[in-house]
A and B are shown apart, each in its own frame.
Chain A
Amino acid sequence: QVHLVQSGAEVKKPGASVIVSCKTSGYIFTSYYLHWVRQAPGQGLEWMGIINPYEGSTTYAQKFQGRMSVTADTSTSTVYMELSSLRSEDTAVYYCARESVPGTGFDYWGQGTQVIVSS
């Protein structure tokens, strides 16, 4: 059974960094891309980036380039998303999501991690 379990809620001050983890199980970790999507309070979904856990290659939305980093630990089947230089607009729920067979959408999602940025 596929599971994506994310780390707990975080409260950060502006300018700080946050690391959100996504621990996967129930499938071959290196066979599926992992995405990060966020949702600000009362807002829609925003795609942030993707990692290929097999190669470690990443692609980020231009909006986050330079302050977002995603890494994969194949020994623990865990993906980490770090977002730096936090500002109040980064307050959101952050989701990891697995991409099924490439080109078939995001079939499994983590439960979400609330990140609050406040002074």
Chain B
Amino acid sequence: DIVMTQSPDSLAVSLGERATINCKSSQSVLYSSNNKNYLAWYQQKPGQPPKLLIYWASTRESGVPDRFSGSGSGTDFTLTISRLQAEDLAVYYCQQYYSTPFTFGPGTTVDIK
């Protein structure tokens, strides 16, 4: 199984500042046939199902604000929230869907400082 790790476990950021979350996979999730990283980012607010933010490591899902961006390739990935808003308070998960089981990272909690 591919093991996903995230850092930090939690972070507190002032409104309008940048938040950066890191995700690492135990093996590459880069699919050589199409040069796509099979890595997604989700946001989950209390009492709600997760919401897809980013897929293919850097492609923003339709309707997701452009302050959310993803980067990275292979085994190392980053989710950046460029200007934190109050509604961004949530837990963020990375997920690999390169091979089953489609494992998730343990999550990073973003709080407002």
- In the assembled complex, which residues on chain B have CB atoms less than 8 Å from the CB atom of A37? 50, 104
Q: Are A111 and B49 in contact (CB-based, < 8 A)? A: yes
Interface residue? B56 (CB, 8 A): yes
| Segment touching A, from B13-21, B77-85, B94-102 | B94-102
Inter-chain contact B36/A105, CB cutoff 8 Å: no
Q: A44-B93, A45-B93 are in contact. Are A106 and B104 (CB under 8 A)?
A: no
- Chain A: interface secondary structure? strand
* Number of B interface residues in the complex (CB < 8 A): 27
Contact A103 B49 (CB under 8 A): no
Asked if A59 contacts B104 (CB within 8 A), the reply is no
- Measured CB to CB, the closest approach of chain A to B60, in angstroms, equals 11
Known A105-B52, A105-B61; judge A47-B93 contact (CB<8 A).
no
User: 17 interchain pairs (CB within 8 A)?
Assistant: A45-B93, A45-B107, A47-B95, A47-B102, A47-B104, A59-B100, A100-B52, A103-B31, A103-B38, A103-B55, A103-B56, A104-B55, A106-B40, A106-B52, A107-B61, A109-B50, A110-B49
* Residues in B lying within 8 Å of A, measured CB to CB: 31, 34, 36, 38, 40, 42, 44, 49-52, 54-56, 59, 61, 93, 95, 97, 100-107
Interface centre among A47, A59, A61, A95 (most CB of B within 10 A): A47
Beyond contacts A44-B105, A47-B102, A106-B40: 4 other A-B pairs, Cβ-Cβ < 8 A, are A46-B104, A47-B100, A99-B97, A103-B38
Q: Does A53 contact B (CB under 8 A)?
A: no
On whether A105 and B106 interact (CB within 8 A), knowing A61-B101, A110-B49, the answer reads no
- Of all A-B residue pairs in the complex, the 5 with the closest CB atoms, nearest first, are A105-B40, A109-B49, A105-B55, A61-B101, A45-B104
| Nearest CB of B to A61, in Å | 4
